[in-house]
Amino acid sequence: MEQQSSSSREHFSSRLGFILAAAGAAVGLGNIWGFPTQVASNGGGAFLLVYLFMIFVVAFPMLVVEMAIGRHGQANPVDSMRSLTKKPLGKKVGEFVGWIGLSVPSAVLAFYSIVGGWLICFLIGAVADLIGLEIIADWFKGFSVERNVFGTVAFYVLTILIVQGGVKQGIEKWSTRLMPALFVLFGLLFVYIMTQAGAMEGLKHYLVPNFEKVWDRKLILAAMGQGFFSLTIGGCSMLVYGSYLSKKENLPKMAMNVTLVDTAVAFIAGLVVMPAMFVAMQKGVQIYAEDGSLLSSDTLVFTVLPLMFDSLGVLGQIFAIVFFLLLTIAALTSSISMLEGPVALVSERFNTRRTATSWVIGGAIALFSVVIVYNFAAMFGMVAMIATQYLQPIAALMFCLFGGWVWSRASKVKELEQGCPDFQLGWFGKVWPMYVKFVCPGLVATVIWASFG
């Protein structure tokens, strides 16, 4: 079976639905947890500046490739990669690349949902705190194995319930509700935090770049890696969502909108988290070590911010609920896109019912997550590292090489001209095919080389 006819395939019903769903896939804990942490570790404003540059120079052109491959194939990642060439060997290699691509969201989901589970537990704990149920609150805030299993399973159930609804009734419906809620909650938090002592200092640290640091090699590589993960390049989500995009849509424009929404969320997260860190420092919470490095960078969101909320009484408790609700939303909009890849593959290849497929595949990955919870010290860091430092960049490199070299220029350009007839007249249309062929693979290879270094 090569591919379904595109007429029977579900599509997003609106542009906004697609943009919010795809941006939601990209907006995850990487933006809200990872990005501010990277900013704090790499000299504030300088990192922000380089990151913005990298997003548009490295990540955006590759996002266009991934979405174009998906829309061209109108199928799951494996069949979409096969559709790029007519040569039998090329099809086999394409299929292999598709499978590697699909391993990324499955592996990421395995550790990501554990963190998603923590968020749900912190959220319930914050609510229990507010209504005075201290014993329950303490259980939900403690990192016991039982609590982590509860959180992980709850997170999977929410993810599966959304994915089983399909594109319009599940992913689109929920993305168009959850993403605006994310922006509103962020706005509330920002206004609140800026009224606290020390917040302005944090804001300055975030927005005023130290230009000497801009050329720091470590900073440039960190910004490139962060930009990459921020848009989930190589994570298959964009390829899958691209396959649900109508041929009438202007693909580069859609990709630019997704990039802008995603970058806006990361930027706003920094606006909230950096001032919050400085507020916490005013309250005596230690954030930086003597040498200026960030303490507990992995758990910044789980340690520093709750301490700040605790010091602010009842209002703080209310904002703790808002904050963890916000993080849970961000985590869910990403996890639904991770589960969608494998579900699309199985239901298209074997013509299975979507509901059953969602529960079986989600359940299988959930079992693996529970195994990780029980062997947390040995497995969590390792699975996270394999998924994000090795599998994802390697998948991104292969998508890039395949999209740049195997997929013919004429076919690529034709795909982009479908929603954008004068694609080749603009400078982007002239530069992009060569850029994806030569520049992008080099940049991705650099990120991989740096992560091994």
pLDDT at position 292 over 80: no
The tens digit of pLDDT for each residue in 94-113 reads 999 999 988 988 988 998 89
Mean confidence (pLDDT) of the chain? 83
The verdict on residue 290 lying in a domain is: no
Which pLDDT band holds residue 296 (cuts at 50, 70, 90)? Answer: low
**Interatomic CA distance for residues 351 and 342, integer angstroms:** 13
Rounded-to-integer distance, Cα 72 and Cα 69, Å = 5
Q: What is the pLDDT at residue 365? A: 94
Q: Which residues contact 221 (CB under 8 A, 6 or more apart)?
A: 446, 447, 450
Give the closest residue to 141 by CA, choosing from 302, 318, 295: 302
Residue 362 domain-assigned? yes
Residue 175 located in a structural domain: yes
**342 near 361, Cβ under 8 Å?**
yes
Is 370 inside any structural domain? yes
1 in a structural domain: no
Q: Which CATH number covers residue 102?
A: 1.10.4160.10
Please give the structure tokens belonging to residue 369. 């997550």
- Please tell me the distance from the alpha carbon of residue 415 to that of residue 65, in angstroms, as a whole number: 10
In whole angstroms, how far apart are CA 247 and each of 74, 76, 244, 306, 411?
A: 10, 16, 9, 46, 14
Residue 210 clears pLDDT 90, i.e. is over it: no
- Lowest mean pLDDT: which of 218-232, 240-254, 401-415, 422-436? 218-232
User: Which residues, including other chains, have CB under 8 Å from residue 242's CB and lie 6 or more apart?
Assistant: 66, 67, 68, 69, 70, 71, 251
Q: In this predicted structure, what is the pLDDT of residue 13?
A: 78
Tens of pLDDT, residues 357-391 = 999 999 999 999 999 999 988 888 888 888 877 88
Cα 361 from chain centre: 20
Is residue 299 in some structural domain? yes
**Share above pLDDT 90 across residues of the chain, in percent, rounded to a whole number:** 16
Whether 169 maps to a domain, the answer reads yes
Range list of H helices, 247-312: 251-282, 300-310
The rounded distance, in Å, linking the Cα atoms of 451 and 284 is 35
Q: 249 lies in a domain?
A: yes
Domain that residue 273 falls in: 15-284+295-452
Mapping DSSP onto H, E and C, the string for 379-406 reads HHHHHHHHHHHHHHHHHHHHHHHHHHHH
Distance between CA atoms of residues 198 and 113, nearest Å: 34
pTM here?
A: 0.84
Q: pLDDT (tens digit, 9 = 90+) per residue, 332-361?
A: 888 888 898 898 888 888 888 989 999 999
Total count of domains within the chain: 1
Write out pLDDT tens, residues 387-413.
877 888 888 889 889 888 988 888 888
Q: pLDDT class for 76, splitting at 50, 70, 90?
A: confident
419 φ/ψ sector (left φ>0, alpha ψ -120 to 50, else beta) = alpha
pLDDT of residue 136: 92
- What's the start-to-end Cα distance of the chain, in Å? 42
